[in-house]
Structures are given as structure tokens and as C-alpha cells.
Amino acid sequence: MKTKLTDQSLTPHRAMEYHKFSAKPCSSYLFFTLLLFFAFLASFADAAVHFHEFVIEAKPVKRLCRTHNTITVNGQFPGPTLEVRDGDTLVIKAINRGRYNVTLHWHGVRQLRNPWADGPEFVTQCPIRPGQTYTYQFTIQNQEGTLWWHAHSRWLRATVYGALIIHPKLGSPYPFPMPKREIPILLGEWWDRNPMDVLRLALFTGAAPNVSDALTINGQPGDLYRCSSKETAIFPVEAGETILLRIINSAMNQEMFYGVANHKLTVVAVDAAYTKPFATNVIMIAPGQTTDVLLTADQTPAHYYMAAHAYNSANAPFDNTTTTAILEYKSAPCSAKKGQSLKPIFPQLPGFNDTATATAFTSQLRSPSRAKVPLEIDDSLFFTVGLGLINCTNPNSPRCQGPNGTRFAASINNVSFVLPRRNSLMQAYYQGQPGIFTTDFPPFPPVQFDYSGNVPRGLWQPVKATKLFKLKYRSKVQIVFQDTSIVTVENHPMHLHGYQFYVVGSGFGNFDPKNDPAKFNLIDPPERNTVGTPPGGWVAIRFEADNPGIWLLHCHIDSHLPWGLATALLVENGVGKLQTVQPPPLDLPRC
């Protein structure tokens, strides 16, 4: 094996658990020495350090009858699952043996005072060039549940992604009965060509990138696609047992509905934050989000499909295929013997544009108990999010293949975010290098208009810039994201790096600053790191800016991000070392 995966995590604890002492009065000194010794060991065991090597390299991957030279981690697609406990430290040496610049992002990890490990290219670091390495080192602090990791450089995350599972600290239980097994379910998208070329072509022509050719579950399209059914993912279950599905939407551009035939799903967590449990037949999950559900195998022993297809909220082309995997009761009768059909039972999924079902699902999410929501707000921000079109002087140019001879763009408050090239934002900030960014991002749109209504053409063209919004340390922040109907309304899954936030309200149409805040849930709103705007509506979030550094805030639809649907929050240092960004690691790549 060329690559090395060393994991010194779970074994030491397990060993510790089984030590027993029998103390005799005459040996109390020895006893206490031993006790101290084991306490010393336990202090390490409780917070393990996991060392991994992630070799980013092209490997042949065959899907839909064709083999592609796919960028992978350690030759695996999807990439390796990381399993840790709260309090553990991860040390991941990224070795770039591919032909593209790359960075890795640990989606949802707070990275307190440690933006250097966050990963978005040209935001917190310069890219790792082919042949180079960078070691991401970070500690999980008071987080548990399902997160994931992915490349954060152009469209590499189409194939460079994996699950990051954080178990509770040793001895702390889940807030629900311990499931018999836990299964990561990674939803993805597959292109029957190099995804980097799909993006490159789109950025050249100015048109929308091609939609994917397949949706996938754990990297496999499933039974409804050509040349795929032999490798459909199968999950065996014992009749009667309850399992935990850790569902991750790692797709590039597609919100999805997901369900399992004949089985109820009990939602217990989203984005590594527990929820009040509730039962549902189907979940809606946006790119970037995770949803943990319990499933009890309480149906007739048989084979059942789990399936996912698009929730398409926009007026735009999308991948309308359906990915499947199989939940297989071990005691299911064998078809060969009885001549029974083995064809699994298919779940009912909502229609592609069923916004009512999507909304009914997300509106049930609640924190388990009273949440620490900021009540007094210091920074109240109103951000319009949506697409735009850049007019061309020569609309017939091959570079203006967007609608009516334009180029697609996207913006927040009419600023279409441009990544710097000469340095990363965080490095420029830390070194005091001027000319890389400005901090005059507008707290509200430059002009007011009927955001979700009929928007005059004159307001369709955003302005390109690298503007950040500055926040004082510990400022209490509210952001209302208002979707616009420019080009099309759409569910934009907004992701904030370095933070978890509370989703205090949402609605359709234009946000009403007079009446809507009164309806906010300030008691038990759900906590997330990625939240979607209802199409043609708004969503309000609150958080305390307790993590200094520069944190990307962007739409997790990867066709919108390069068009500029992003900004970054610059959270200033507080007072003293514990409120200050730590120094960068020595191997941080330079631009």
C-alpha cells in the first residue's frame, strides 16, 4: 500500500475502560501512584490525536460504463471516513499528487481561532500546488454528530469528499437509545466527464455548467442507471433493530429529497446539532447539510430501496435522475428458492418542485431544549442573495453564452464576490498586506426593490469586488438572507465557515422588518451551519461572533460560488491570547 492511514484513537480508550484495581490497605502508596499514572494516560486517551495522510491523486474510477481519471483521496471515491470523538485532535497531512491546485475544508468544524485549518482556497490559505503538502491540524471542541470534509478549490469537491463523524466524549451517551449500527449515506453527483472541465467550459462561455449525469449514494448511482446495478450500495439490517443513518448532501448543485420505502425516518440531528426528534417519510437536504435519522427495521423482512432525487426550486435545468441503494433485511426470503421477485420496494418521493413538502420538513426542526440565542443584536444585516447577468459589449462573443448574450453572475447585496489571486484573504490580513480586499461590504442592498417580485432589468447586473464585512469580537449578529427573483428564485443553501448559527425565522416573499421579527423562534430554533433560503423568500439567522478570523459565507451550490454568491466575515480579535487568532503553521502554503 502506497498510502498510510494511522489512527491511534479508539483503541487506547477501550483498553482503559477495562482496567480494574483491587486496592489493599498496605499498598495504598502504590495504588495512588498507579491511579496517577492511569489518570495521566487517560488524559491522553480522552483526547486522542488522529494522524492521517490524505494523498490527493488521480485514480481510474468507472461509472456509467466509462472510466475516468478521477481525483481522489488515497485512491478512494468517496474518500475515507474520519471517525473521532469530541475533544480529539486531527492531524491530516494533505499530499497533492494530482495535477490541480487543491485545498481541503472540514465542513462545519468550528476551527476556533484557527482559520489556518479551515481550507477555502484564497480565503484562509493559498492552494497546495501539485507536488506540495500541507498539514491540517485542528481540535474538535464541543461538537458532536455528522460533518464532512471536501476539497475547497474550484470543482474538485465533486469527487474529493468524505464523512467526518464525531462521537460524543467517552462516557457521554447519545440523547437517544444507542443504535445497533451507524451508516454514513453520502449523496453526490457524478459527471460523465472531468468536473474540472465542466467548470472551465462554463467559466469560459459564461453559460451555466452542464448538469450532472447521475446522482449517487456513497459514490454509486444505483439500479436505475446504465452499467451500475452490480455495484449498488447495499446496507444489511437485522429485523427489529434500529440504525442511525448519517445522511450528508455532498452533491455539487442539487438539493435532494431522500426516503426509504415503507420506513419512517426519525430526525435526531442536523449539521452536527441535535434536534427534537420527529418522524417523517422524506427529508429534504441541501448541499452542505447533514441530517441524522433513526430507522427501525420494523417492516416485513424484504429488500427496500432508499432513493434520492432532486428538489429543484429554480426555473433552470437540473439532473432529474434518481439514485438508489438497498436496505436489505438479513432474514429476507431468498428469491432463488421461492421464485419470489427480489425487486426491492420503491419509496415515494415528492415531485421535483414540491416546495411545500420541503418547507414542511425544514419547519419542523427545533433545538432539543432552550437555546442560547442572542437576544440583543449588535449587527443587524440584510443580505439579498441571488443570480445576476453581466452584459457584454459583444453579445455574440463565445464568452457571452448566457441568457441573451450575457454572462451568468451571482451576488450578495449586489456585490459579486471575487477571490483574490495574489494572496489569501487571511494571510493578507495577518501580514497587514494592503490591496487584497476591502471591508466595506454593504450591510443592506444599495437600493431597495421588490426583491421577490418583478425586478427591473436595470437591477440585474451586480458589481464584482472583494469586499468583506467586519465584525467586532463577540458582536451579536443577525443576518436575514433574502432570495431575489433575478433570473430565477431558488433555494440557496447559505453556509458560514467557522460558525454554527440559529435559524430563527423564515418565510416567503419579502422580509418584513416590522412584523416578521415578532414571529421569530428565540426559544428552541435549530442550530446549523448551512441553511437554505426558501425560493423567493427569506431566512433569518443569529449567532455570536466569538471566533476571530476571516470566514467565508457562501452559497453551497457550486455553480453559484464561482459566479460570486459569497462574501467573507472578518471577525476581529478580542483581548488577550484566548480571543486572538493563533499564529499560522510554518508549512502554510504561500501564493
Q: Which residues bind ligand C2O (CB under 6 A)?
A: 105, 107, 120, 150, 152, 288, 495, 497, 552, 554, 556
Write the CB contacts of 229 (distance below 8 Å, at least 6 apart in sequence): 222, 223
Q: How far is the CB of 281 from ligand C2O (least distance, A)?
A: 27
Cα–Cα distance between 168 and 7 in angstroms, integer? 18
Helices then strands, each counted (H, E), the chain: 6, 32
Q: How far is the CB of 411 from ligand C2O (least distance, A)?
A: 17
Write the CB contacts of 490 (distance below 8 Å, at least 6 apart in sequence): 313, 314, 316, 386, 387, 483, 533, 535
- DSSP for 388-414 reads EEEE-SSTTSTT--STTSEEEEEEETT
CA distances to 126, 432, 444, 588 from 449, in Å: 38, 38, 12, 44
Cα–Cα distance between 497 and 580 in angstroms, integer? 17
Cα 533 from chain centroid (whole Å) = 16
The x, y and z cell numbers of residue 467, run together, are 469586499
- Torsion sign (Cα): 119, 123, 128, 130: positive
Q: How far is the CB of 284 from ligand C2O (least distance, A)?
A: 18
Cα–Cα distance between 113 and 233 in angstroms, integer? 39
Name which of 233 and 557 has its Cβ closer to ligand C2O. Answer: 557
Q: How far is the CB of 327 from ligand C2O (least distance, A)?
A: 28
Residue in 161, 228, 209 with CA at minimum distance from that of residue 188: 161
Name which of 288 and 347 has its Cβ closer to ligand C2O. Answer: 288
Q: Which residue is nearest to ligand C2O (CB)?
A: 107
Name which of 148 and 329 has its Cβ closer to ligand C2O. Answer: 148
Name which of 79 and 402 has its Cβ closer to ligand C2O. Answer: 79
Cα–Cα distance between 501 and 199 in angstroms, integer? 31
Name which of 108 and 259 has its Cβ closer to ligand C2O. Answer: 108
Cβ(45)–Cβ(19) under 8 Å? no
Residue in 67, 62, 70, 57 with CA at minimum distance from that of residue 196: 70
Name which of 128 and 302 has its Cβ closer to ligand C2O. Answer: 128
Cα–Cα distance between 373 and 399 in angstroms, integer? 47
Q: How far is the CB of 165 from ligand C2O (least distance, A)?
A: 16
The x, y and z cell numbers of residue 41, run together, are 494516560
Name which of 105 and 467 has its Cβ closer to ligand C2O. Answer: 105
Q: Is 29 helix (H, G, I), strand (E, B) or coil?
A: helix
Q: How far is the CB of 107 from ligand C2O (least distance, A)?
A: 4
Q: Is 529 helix (H, G, I), strand (E, B) or coil?
A: coil
Place of cell 440557496: 492
Name which of 381 and 552 has its Cβ closer to ligand C2O. Answer: 552
Place of cell 447586473: 461
Q: What is the DSSP letter of 301?
A: S
Q: How far is the CB of 90 from ligand C2O (least distance, A)?
A: 16
Q: How far is the CB of 553 from ligand C2O (least distance, A)?
A: 9
Q: How far is the CB of 195 from ligand C2O (least distance, A)?
A: 16
Q: Is 235 helix (H, G, I), strand (E, B) or coil?
A: strand
Name which of 326 and 412 has its Cβ closer to ligand C2O. Answer: 412
Q: How far is the CB of 496 from ligand C2O (least distance, A)?
A: 9
Name which of 80 and 350 has its Cβ closer to ligand C2O. Answer: 80
Name which of 145 and 206 has its Cβ closer to ligand C2O. Answer: 145
- Phi/psi for 126 (5° steps) reads -85, 155
Cα–Cα distance between 443 and 565 in angstroms, integer? 15
Name which of 143 and 228 has its Cβ closer to ligand C2O. Answer: 143
